[in-house]
Structures are given as structure tokens and as C-alpha cells.
Structure 1
């Protein structure tokens, strides 16, 4: 199957966690194929601490003021700190939930709000993990699998909510 990215040419795509790794590769691919994010597109890096709601809100305001409404959101930011659950560190657990679950929820809420306000048939993509579909036999993942299961459940909840609202916004989990 060949997917066309032409429908996103000239549109605004937001990728969380795009400073390195998978997020950077996603951002590069989007720039290559045209969404505003050089090549066909443009990359605008907006620094935000994804664990701070005010930073996320500030980033979305900057995007709206400087680039226009969001058409695509790729929730890619993720965090994992290995350790045994039975010996876990509460602050590390909180950071995993803050990055992997709460930041995803906040960014999704903001992007969908913009899409609905502007009648945009956008797309929200949650980058997940195999650990979000089946708990791996890896005892040192502690709460990571729980956060990724949450992403799976939140995506399905969002899909049902958007269907109830008769929204044309798409949501995907990978």
C-alpha cells in the first residue's frame, strides 16, 4: 500500500519528542513531504518541557500565532527508566506517567481543540510500544508497560469520543 502525504502539504504538523530518535526521523520525513514543520516543508523547533502543562500550552499558542492551526499531531515523546517495580523510585514513576500519559493527553486536547475550532479533518497519531499491547517478559520495565497500556486505552477512548461527536478527525496508535 502506498500512502500519499499530499493532503498534508502546506499544513501544520506537531511532533512531540522530536529532538532525537524516532521523533526526529518523523519530523524529517514530514518536512521532506511537505507539512510545515529545507525541503518541501519547514521545520520550526519549539522548545517545551513536555512534563509541564504550561510549556505545552505555550508551545501550542506559539504555533497558532506563528504558523496557523494544527492539522497533524504526532505524540511521540516517551520516557522509560529501568528498575524493578518492587524497588521503584516514585519520582521516576511520576515522570514516566507525566511524559507517556499526561503530556499525550494535554497535547491531544490542545490539538483537537484547534482542529474542531477550525473545522479541520486532522489526524492524531500516538506513537506507542509493543509493551502497550502485551506486557513483555522484562521485569525491569516496572511502570513503563502500564503507561503504554494507558496510551492504547486512551486512543480507543478518543476514537469512540470522536465518533460520538461525528468528528472527521482521525486517531491512530502505532
Structure 2
């Protein structure tokens, strides 16, 4: 019932806001457009710079806005591959992936190299997983936290 009464009476606050908005819009329309500054010709006198003259500054040396070389990570085409740990069981197509040699089904190292995905179990057995691709790896991997010179260094970093 109160809602019908409220809807039937115009809200004075809303009417006042609409009026103020209309006034501000009309005032904005009446404002002149800004004109760009016109460059002044250089003075023809032979002396030094006169007061108010702006001298051209020294040429600005371009700075590389990227990270210094010691903080940069190699790009994807400069590394042999990437690895990430995968602790829970890996389920693909409704089936738990197990190691073909020892039967392990969790605590994998997933290796992405040359557009192939390889799985490495804790015992060190490796098998290619054709149901996974680089796009899957990129969706599920975290940002790179370290780079390593050798495969073994990376395995040690990941705890294998």
C-alpha cells in the first residue's frame, strides 16, 4: 500500500536532482571550446635568450623501460622446457592416471617441452601424456618462480 502511495506522488528529491542536472548540462553546452595555444615565432634578435623565452632542452636519451638484464626471465623459446608439481591424482577423461612402471597415481612432476607433456612420478619414471597439451599446462601452471640451468636442478627445486 505504501509503495503505491510512494509511486503515485512525485519524489521532490528526484525532481530537484533532475532540475540541477539539466541546469548543469545547459551551462556546459554554453561554455566555449578551448583553443589550442598558438606557437610564437622565435625572436630575430642576436643576443641570448630574452626573459620568457623557452630554450629547447637537450635531446632526451631514450631509456629502456624494461627490467634490467639480471632481473629478466628467459622467454618461452629460450628455455628447454617448464615443470610444475601436481600433488593430487591426475584425472583425465574420468580415469586416474597411473605410472606405467610403478603404479603411482599422485605427486607428479608435469613437464612441458617441445609442445609435449610428460609426467614424472616420484620414482623417476617418465611417460608422455598425449591427452594433455601446452594450453592445458599454461592454464594450470603458476607463474615462473625460478629458472634453473639443468633438469636435475629443477627437480631438486621441486622436491624430487
Superposition TM-score tier, normalisation by shorter sequence: under 0.3
* Greater relative CO (CA pairs within 8 A, separation 6+): 1
- If the length of structure 1 is used for normalisation, what is the TM-score? 0.19
- Greater strand share, structure number: 2
- If the length of structure 2 is used for normalisation, what is the TM-score? 0.20
Structure having the higher Rg: 2
- Greater helix share, structure number: 1
